[in-house]
Amino acid sequence: MPPPGVFSVFLLLLLAGVPAGAEKAERLSPYFGTKSRYEELHRYLLDDPYSPGPSRTGFPLPASSCAPLQLTAIFRHGTRFPTRKQIEKLSRLHGQVIRRSKARPPCSAAQRLARWPPWLRPSMDGKLAARGRRDMEALARRLASRLPSLLAPSRRFAFASSSKPRCLDSAAAFREGLRQSLFGSDKDAVLSETFEINDELMRFFDHCEKFVKDVEDNKTAMHEVDAFKEGPEMKKVVQKIANTLCLPVTELDADLVQVAFFTCSFGLTIKRINSPWCSLFSTGDAVVLEYLNDLKQYWKRGYGYDINSRSSCNLFQDIFKRMDQAVMESKSSKPISSPVILQFGHAETLLPLLALMGYFKDKEPLKAQNYNVQAGRQFRSGRIVPYAANLLFLLYHCDKASSPEEEYKVQILLNENLLPFPHSGQKVSLYSSLKTQYRDILQNCHFDDVCAVPKNAATAG
């Protein structure tokens, strides 16, 4: 007879629509980092992915005073398959487990995992999963219900995407969800739209020579990540997994353990099942592995090096350039030429941009040695950029404003929640005040200069 607490958890999971047997993955899912499902942020979506959820206090602004003028949205692609590299590492680990399962004395954990039918193939290589298409279709329908005056049949939509297939497919799925929301069952109806592939904006990091040299290709740039892999917290997890699988600890390392953990996450996010790989990990193990993932994101995409965020200045300036144009057209009583801009990129697109704006910055940088003081950190990648993450810039025209400065206002939403502005803590800002706050980035962050590599320059590490 299980203890009452276990039964209560099981009952709650059933009531929440969690498939039987997925309890273990559910307990680990808050710690999957960038491999997190979007529903982790909005649990009601597990029951109804099209539900807009509870009303957001203060969003949108009252229609009696302000009307949405323009939406610029930047999306991370939906749920995807692991990369070829991850799948090949998993195959190597599974081979080790199978060999141990046949050895004597028998090892129950290895025998159980040896029976796991591999369903991840190298050909999947980071492609959008069917669930990822549903992520984007549902997101489009929810946003359309929230912003009916902007996401309307008469509007012209400007789509842009990274060249990666998972982003192109995400854009297509979002477009279909939007079409369904606006036109219902009319399959002949089409959106008025433009579409472009724009890697200079959506994959700016590939085009920033300084970032590539100092961070991407610099073997010492991730020294904090490497140090944590060899630190006591991670070594304890590696030793535990080795013991569980009856393997010599020399046959495992932090990378292989992380692959096993992510295999657990892919089972939940893609198939909504409890992978047997999940049984290897406790919640305590998951917390350590989440920190390992966050360390990598912090040093490679976040606040670790200035070039990480500064490389996104072109994208930031492009957002404000479009808002400037909308304000100018509004003041001239002209139609807004780009009322809805929908751009599809990556976690690596959003994290540097949010860092550039000052979001999720902790008092102390994330380091290998301060794991114990970072339990309450703001920089948690699974909360910031899960699959289908979205950053919205919503520009309003307020025709009852008491002064010209108050006529245009902005709200920013991350993953359908209002973000307080870092400089004020408020959830709405005058557009003029926002431009003043970010004046240095708008005027002085020149991509070509920021990303130039001086001859004989030292690297970031």
- Spatial distance between the Cα atoms of 307 and 218, rounded to a whole number of angstroms: 13
Start-to-end CA distance of the chain, whole Å, equals 55
Joined tokens for residue 80: 């995807």
pLDDT band at 187 (very low <50, low <70, confident <90, very high): confident
Q: Is the pLDDT of residue 11 over 80?
A: no
Going by DSSP bridges, is the β-strand pair 340-345/417-418 parallel, antiparallel, or unpaired? Answer: unpaired
Q: Is the pLDDT of residue 377 over 90?
A: yes
Q: Mean pLDDT across the chain, nearest whole number? A: 93
Phi, psi at 396, each rounded to 5°: -115, 150
- The torsion angle over the Cα atoms of residues 267, 273, 276 and 279, rounded to 10 degrees, is 100
Which are the catalytic amino acids? 77
Comparing 279 with 10, the larger pLDDT belongs to 279
- Top CATH class of 18-450 equals alpha beta
Q: Is the pLDDT of residue 6 over 80?
A: no
Question: Which pLDDT value is given to residue 57?
Answer: 86
Question: Tens of pLDDT along 25-69?
Answer: 999 999 999 999 999 999 999 999 999 999 888 999 998 899 999
Domain boundaries, the chain: 18-450
Half-sphere exposure for 3 (CA within 13 Å, toward CB): 2
